Structures are given as C-alpha cells and as structure tokens.
Structure 1
Amino acid sequence: MKYWEQNRKILETYYPGLAEKLEQSEDDWEGPLEIRGTPSGLPTLLVQGMHIHSPRDPAAEARRIAAAEPGDGPVAVFGFGLGYLPEAIAGTAPGRPLIILEKHPKILQKALEERDLTELLSRNRIVFVVGGSPEGITGALQLFSEPPAVLKNRNLVSLDESWYRDAENHLRAFAQRDEVNAATLRRFGRRWVRNLAKNREAIRDLPGIRFLAGSGRGFPVFLAAAGPSLDDIAPLLPEIRERCIVIAVDTSLRMLLRRGIEPDFAVSVDPQFWNARHLDRCDAPGCCLIAESAVYPQVLRRGFRRKLLCSSLFPLGRFIEDRVDPKGVLGAGGSVATSAWDFARILGSAEIWIAGLDLSFPDLKTHFSGALFEARFLAEAHRLRPAETYAHLALHGGFPFKAAAAGSGQVLTDRRLSMYAGWFERQFRNYPEIKSYLLSGRGLAIKGAAAAAPEDILSLPPRRGEIDARLAETFGAMDGGFGNPEAQQGREKQFNHALEELRKELDRIIAVSESAAAAAREAWKNASLLSPERREAVLAELDSANHTIIGSAAKDVAGFLFPPIEELESALKTPGQDPFRSHLELSFRLYEALAEAAEYNRKYL
C-alpha cells in the first residue's frame, strides 16, 4: 500500500471518480495477486502462479513490445498489470493518447499500491475502461479522431479472453467506419448526386421535421425495426397502435401494412435503389413519410398522406437547404433504425418501445418473415444457387462473431451490426432522460436499453384518440405556416437564387481547377528546364488557385466526389524521386479530379 495515497491524489485530480470505483468495486476476481522482486530491482506480478511480466526485467520486456508501435497516435493497451507497458509507450512519445482496458479493478488497484505511477498518470492523456462491460470502449473511442493501435499483455488477456475479444471487436468496428464510409462513397456517391439533382424541388416544396419537434411529448413511441424478433410482436400490433405513436422503418413497413396497421410515420433515408424497393406496393395514405432528400426519387412519389424531409446528409442538399429552408437535423448512425430512433427523440417522447432491433442473427435469420430480402432470395434462387446461398452470404459476409444477447446467452452478430449498437449506446448515454425498451431478449445486448416483455407495453393506457388529435393539430399549424402562398413564393425565389449561385460557383471551380491542372502538368513535364523564378511563379499560381477554391461557397459540393488523397498518391509516376516534380504531379491530378467532380455536379443540375 506504500504508493496508494500519492497515486490516489493524482487520480482525484486527473481521473475523478476512478479511485472510488476501484475501492468500491465488486470484482469477481478470486485468488491472490502476488508481488515478487526481479533481478532488475523492479517488482513483477504473479496471477494464478503465472508471471504477468518478465521475471527478470519487466520494463525491458515492455519496451520491446512498445517498439512494435512507433509514432504518436493513440494506443489501446489490453491488460494493465503493473503498468510497465503503458509507461514504455509513453516513454517513446510523451503525451501519447492511451486507452487502458483492464478487466479486473483489483489488478489496477494493486498496481497503484505497489508502484509510483504519478508521472505516467499526470503527463499523459489516458482513458480508463475498467471492469464492467467491454462495450465501454465505444465511448472512449469517441474521444479520438483515429482508431488506436492495439498492444496486449498476452498473459493477462489469456485469463479473460472473451472479455478482451469483445472489446477488440468493438474497436475493430469503430476502425472500420472510415473504411466503410470511403468504400460506400466510391460505390454510391454519384448515385446520391443524381438523386439529389432529381429531388431538388422537394427541398423547396416539402416541409421539414422541425415542424414536428415536441409534438409527441407525453406519448410513448413504438418503433418497428426490421429484425427477426419483429415476428414475435406482430400479433400485438393493433393493441400497440392504440397506445403509442407508431414509427416504422422503410424495411418494416411491409410487415405492418400486411397486418392492417398503418403507422403514424415511416422513415426512409437510404439513397440506394434496392432500399426504395422496400416500399413497393406499400402505399399508406394514412401515414407520414420522413425522408432524406437524396433518397431514390421514386420514394418521394409514393402515396403517403404527407411527406417531410430531414436535413440532407450531403453537401449538395445542404447548400440548397441553407438558402431555402433548413429542415431539421436527424441523427444518422448508418442504419435507418438509428434515424428512426432519433426521430422519436425529436418528437419529444420520453418512452421508446422497440421491436426488431436485433442487430444480430437470432435463429440465424436476418429479417422478419416476408421481408423484401427474403422474397428476393427466393425469386433469384435456382438449382445451382439456392436461397440458402444468399442467406449464408448475408450471415457470414460481415465478419461474424458471437456476443452477449439482450436476454441470456450469446447471439451471432457482425462488425457492421455491432457498429450500429455502439451508436445506440452513445445516444442512450447522451439522453438518459429517454427510456428505451427492447421488446425481445433474442437480439444483441445494447447497453442502456432496458429489457421489457410484451405485457409491459400492453399495460399502457389506450390513447389513440389523443394521439390523432395532437398530430392533426401539429399538421394544421404546419400547413398554415409553411404552406401559405406567401411562404411558397418566398421559397421559390430563394430556390432559384440558390441554384444560380451554385451553378456560378461550380463553373468558377471548374475553370480555376482546369487552369491550375494545365499549369501543373506543363511544369511537371518540363521541370528540369524551369528556372528558379519560373518555379516560384508556378507555385504562386497554384497557391492562388487554392485560395480561390477554398473561398468558394460550393467547395464542399465539388469536393464530395473527390477521391481519397491516398488513391491519387498511389498513382504517382514520380513518387519521392524529385520533391518538386512529385508535388507538381500530385497537384495536377488533384485539380483534374476536382474539376471532374465539380463538372459532374454541374451536369446533373
């Protein structure tokens, strides 16, 4: 205990609450934690008779492990032990961000008792994830702009492999986000631009969800996601509708309509063609559609009672909205269910009851029975590629792994679905006043969501009459404001001005980029013949082009389809051979790509 008090003072200053957590924790650890001396003079730790560090020189061992991850980026350390590995990492780059994951609070407390760690704790950015659920790493990761490298105390990790494996799966899902976003943009970015160009009048003519803010206050919301467990609650849908505002995602709307239930709202935000097919033959004249302006155009032609937009996720849509009519921001976590939950929050409900949010494959199913995916598998199946082949690809194409289920036991999930779970967990922490209930225990456990039985939601009092009256009042007020002729004329004028401004700005970016690309390409070809004065003149021209582009109001619109810089760098013919020539080559490729992206937007406008 000789170092506990001085370490504790540092904890109270830099990590408030951690010392109390360690002292009050109910760790499930059993058995002694033995401290022994080593020839180096430093203590080592034995757990269950196993050396956690080197029995000769634990600091030297930690330095060898830390050398595998040079640099100054964040590092996640799996297993704290006596703290030698975090010290070694900090020694190579003082102030380097660290995430410490330690399953057992007693081990961390033992280290603070036996070693002077004040310098490590006071001079470095450290986030501790100690005990409890390994999903706590998802919150820690939000503090960093890049995914951390991982270094492990393998002996400690071997004592609790499943806990650390779950943490690593969450970390991997976080790291995959940027890769997924970049890959999705490369695949679908041009489609989104075309959708927005076709839907641009909708930004002018359709009201935004801001008109609905707080309209559901005092009422519970039932959210129908599209997971397999939605089948369990299907027979109760008529009774649930009597008690709750009903929100369906586009994927689950088919199920509700087949049961004779028209939800109050249906949410559709995915711009892809196949997502629009979920609404085939799903016209709902009593339902209000909530959409993003980049959805596939036929979505906005469906026969819904009303259509409202949320703020665009894409620069082209935001450019027009900012000048015509801001719609109201709707959270996006990669899945329509995330946007639907955030819409329920915007309505002002304090209770959100959720069915079908499985984020996993209970009973090895991907969606509720009769979902479009299932129908498509059956329709496209043939003797050499049966429906089971499609199901197998859906189950195993996203790096599957097993994780804790909401009820008991484990369930099969994958990296993509667990990434969505991380989004929900963050929202549940950010809005603790909103109670979210999962009406099935068969899906993935989501920290912050309470388990509920069907009888719990049926115990709510019937309030359909009150709900209909409140929504009618809200829509009436919206029509009186947004829909009056004077407001429509104002938006028409602003809309035309916004399009004209956008065209002019894109034309300017195209002209400047093409001119800069030509200058950079010509100089690249003749670099060896250029005088120092001419070199300076070329660089000054490129610098002027940069200032013009950066100052353009349409720079984000043009840059949306811009390829990753790494992709352009990999195509260089003179990488690193001559810094000046390499700079010129990269420059003309950059300007050519920007001109092409701007021209694509200009063409479809």
Structure 2
Amino acid sequence: MRNLETEWRKFQSELVDFLPISKNTKSQTNPSSSINESTKLEFSNVWTSNYLKNLSKYTKIPILKPNSHAQNQALVFIGAAPNLEDQVNWLKENRENCFYISSDTALRYLFQVGIEPDAILTVDPSRGSFFHLMDAKDKIPIYTWLGSHRQAFEKNMNPSIFLTTHPLDQILGESLGLSDSMILRNPSLNLAGMAKALAMFWKMPAIILAGWSLKSSRYKTHCRGSGYESYYLPFTNRIKTLENLYPLRVYKKNLTSKNQIAIDNMLGSADLKVIDLSDFRKADQCIDELRNIRNHEIKFQPGVQLFSKPKIESWKLFISKPLVGVDSRKFRKFASFL
C-alpha cells in the first residue's frame, strides 16, 4: 500500500510538470496575468490530485448543457460578503422570480435565514470547502469542476460538471468530442466570474450579484454563519477573537489591485447585463422588465447530459494536439490511472 501511495504521489508530480502551467511569475508584466500565474503555481498540485480522484469515481460524467434559446429569468449569484446580511429581504421577496446560485461560502448563512438556493457553485480545491458544504442537501445540485474539493463529489452530494480552461478539462472535452463553446472562461478569476460564465452559457439576460463586494466591512470579510466560522472557532480564545482570524489580507477595507481587476472584468460586459444588488433600484427594474416579457411562470432548470468516461485509447488520440504539449510516455501513464 505504501509503494502504491508513493507511486501515486510521484505520478501527480510528473503530471503537473508536463501540463503547461507556468512556474515563473516574475516575468509577467500584466497584473492580471501575474495573479493568474500565481494562482496556478499555488494550486496546480492539488488541482491535479483532486481531478484524478474525482474523475476516477465516474463511469458516466454529468456535464451541464448549454441553452439553445434565450431565457427570460435573471441569474442571482449569492456571495458571502458582509453586505449579504443587508440584502436578505430582497432575496426572499424575489425568490420565485430568479434562478439563485449560492456560493459555497454563503450556503450555511442562507439556510439560517430560510433561503434555499436552486444550486450551489464551488470551485475551490482547498479544505475550507468541507466546512462550507457541511449542510449541503443532496437535492440541491452542486455545479463544480473536477479539480474542486473532493467533498463536492461525496455520495450524499449531487454534482454536475462544467469544463474550464484547465488543460485537463480541455483534453477531456476533446476526447468527448465537445465543441469549444462547452469550455467556460473566467477572466475575473473569482467565483462570481464563473457564475457570470454560466449565465452566458445558458443565454440568460442578466446576472444580479448579491453578497459581493470583495472588501471587508467593520473588520468582517464574510457574512456571519459561514463555513469559515466553523473552521476558525476552535482557534479562538479571549485574546484571539474571530475577527482576528478573518483573511483581511485578501479582503481589505479598500479594494486591492487583484480585486479591482476582478470587478472591472465582472462589470465591463457587453454580452450580459451585470447588476450589483447594492443598487436595489436597478435590480428591481431588471426583475420588473423580465417579469413583463415572460410568457409563463415555469422556473428555469439547467440541463445535464451524461457522457461515458473516455477510454484510454480516446485520450491517447490527443497526445499530438497543439492544445497541450505533453510528453507521450507520461500521457499514457496518466491515461492508465483513469
């Protein structure tokens, strides 16, 4: 067993080496590119490990389907910023008018205030996702990718997969014969950006951002009751309070350059109406306009299609593709693990 585990870890390391994930971030001059490369450098190993483990659980892969026609409902993405606590009444009043996707971080707070989302969005590979998804109900679908935390793929969960620009997802999409339009792109590099990509994927007219500010407020980085509290509480004492443990380095009182880039990417969209729920008037106007043009009250439900996991031979066909320049010997070894 120890030899198998050693071989497994060695293989993961080799796989990371031949995937086109840059190890050099200093040469980047574009701030957005530099942030992206730093993220790849930090998470490449855990992405690869999770991807292989999660994919190995499937014989048929449930992949989200795009829409062939435009929708007349807005997607509401619910983040876990402190301002979410001020937006609960609006979310309750408009529950039946929109399609609600909760971030994994906001899920436990939404349950506490009596709001059940239509779906949960999670992409983070880190251990914190376990605490966010502790109360997830199997009837609520989880939208995620194969590199996400393994908690999203446990037996009591209900995951549906989307494909990202990660090299392994590109290989998987090619081997399944999927078009490039099935790949979701997220230049904002945050979870709200993935929700925006899904809204465009489903041809929805607007996305409303609730609980989204990318700033701290009164020394809080997240709303109360999130999984972070469950994670941090064992470390608190009379000297070190919960506020001392919030990630203020990431979410400061004023926007960091990274978060400003995310906001610019989110709000600067010509293909989709993007509304911050901090402006209740604009959000109400959007809902009223969509309600007036809707022909019926059937709620939008995303489709899922099952794909048989590609055989080893199917993966080998794409070794010579320019999509990823990989070593063929290592690639065959990669395919054998699946």
TM-score, normalised relative to structure 1: 0.45
User: Separation in 1 of the partners of 2:333 and 2:105?
Assistant: 31
Counterparts in 2 of 1:146-185, with a 5 A limit? 147=29, 175=31, 177-185=32-40
Counterparts in 2 of 1:184-263, with a 5 A limit? 184-201=39-56, 205-209=60-64, 211-214=65-68, 217-263=71-117
Cα-to-partner distance string for 1:283-325 (whole Å, 9 max, x where unaligned): 241x222111111222122645x53211133222321331125
Higher relative contact order (CA 8 A, sep 6+): 2
Q: Max radius of gyration: which structure? A: 1
Structure 1 match to 2:324: 556
Q: Is residue 256 of structure 2 the alignment partner of residue 414 of structure 1?
A: yes
Alpha-carbon contact 1:218-1:348 (below 8 Å) kept: no
Cα-to-partner distance string for 1:494-537 (whole Å, 9 max, x where unaligned): 434235668xx6xxxxxxxxxxxxxxxxxxxxxxxxxxxxxxxx
Q: Residue 311 of structure 2: which of 484, 495, 498 is its match?
A: 495
Structure (1/2) with the larger helix percentage: 1
Structure 2 match to 1:439: 277
Give the superposition deviation at 1:187.
2.8
Counterparts in 2 of 1:446-461, with a 5 A limit? 452=281, 456=285, 461=291
Q: Residue 118 of structure 2: which of 251, 264, 267 is its match?
A: 264
User: Separation in 1 of the partners of 2:228 and 2:69?
Assistant: 34
SS in 2 for 1:412: coil
- Paired AA for residue 331 in structure 1: R
Give the superposition deviation at 1:330.
1.9
- Paired AA for residue 297 in structure 1: R
Structure 2 match to 1:122: none
Alpha-carbon contact 1:219-1:244 (below 8 Å) kept: yes
Alpha-carbon contact 2:165-2:185 (below 8 Å) kept: no
SS in 2 for 1:266: strand
Given the superposition, is the C-alpha separation of residues 241 and 214 from structure 1 closer, same or farther in structure 2, using an over 3 Å criterion? Answer: farther
Cα-to-partner distance string for 1:398-419 (whole Å, 9 max, x where unaligned): 495xxxxxxxxxx622223212
User: Separation in 2 of the partners of 1:244 and 1:313?
Assistant: 28
User: Separation in 1 of the partners of 2:108 and 2:63?
Assistant: 25
Given the superposition, is the C-alpha separation of residues 384 and 257 from structure 1 closer, same or farther in structure 2, using an over 3 Å criterion? Answer: closer
Alpha-carbon contact 2:131-2:230 (below 8 Å) kept: no
Q: Is residue 203 of structure 2 the alignment partner of residue 348 of structure 1?
A: yes
Q: Is residue 138 of structure 2 the alignment partner of residue 313 of structure 1?
A: no
Counterparts in 2 of 1:458-473, with a 5 A limit? 461=291, 466-468=297-299, 470-471=300-301
User: Separation in 2 of the partners of 1:318 and 1:384?
Assistant: 49
- Paired AA for residue 281 in structure 2: A
Given the superposition, is the C-alpha separation of residues 185 and 419 from structure 1 closer, same or farther in structure 2, using an over 3 Å criterion? Answer: same
Given the superposition, is the C-alpha separation of residues 600 and 365 from structure 1 closer, same or farther in structure 2, using an over 3 Å criterion? Answer: farther
User: Separation in 2 of the partners of 1:195 and 1:319?
Assistant: 16
List gaps (5 residues or longer) in structure 2. 1-26
Tell me how many residue pairs correspond in the alignment: 307
SS in 1 for 2:232: helix
Give the superposition deviation at 1:247.
1.6
Cα-to-partner distance string for 1:549-601 (whole Å, 9 max, x where unaligned): xxx44983748xxxxxxxxxxxxxxxxxxxxxxxxxxxxxxxxxx99x87995
Structure 1 vs Structure 2 CA RMSD? 3.6
User: Separation in 1 of the partners of 2:316 and 2:165?
Assistant: 22
User: Separation in 1 of the partners of 2:162 and 2:61?
Assistant: 10
Given the superposition, is the C-alpha separation of residues 370 and 215 from structure 1 closer, same or farther in structure 2, using an over 3 Å criterion? Answer: farther
Alpha-carbon contact 2:215-2:251 (below 8 Å) kept: no
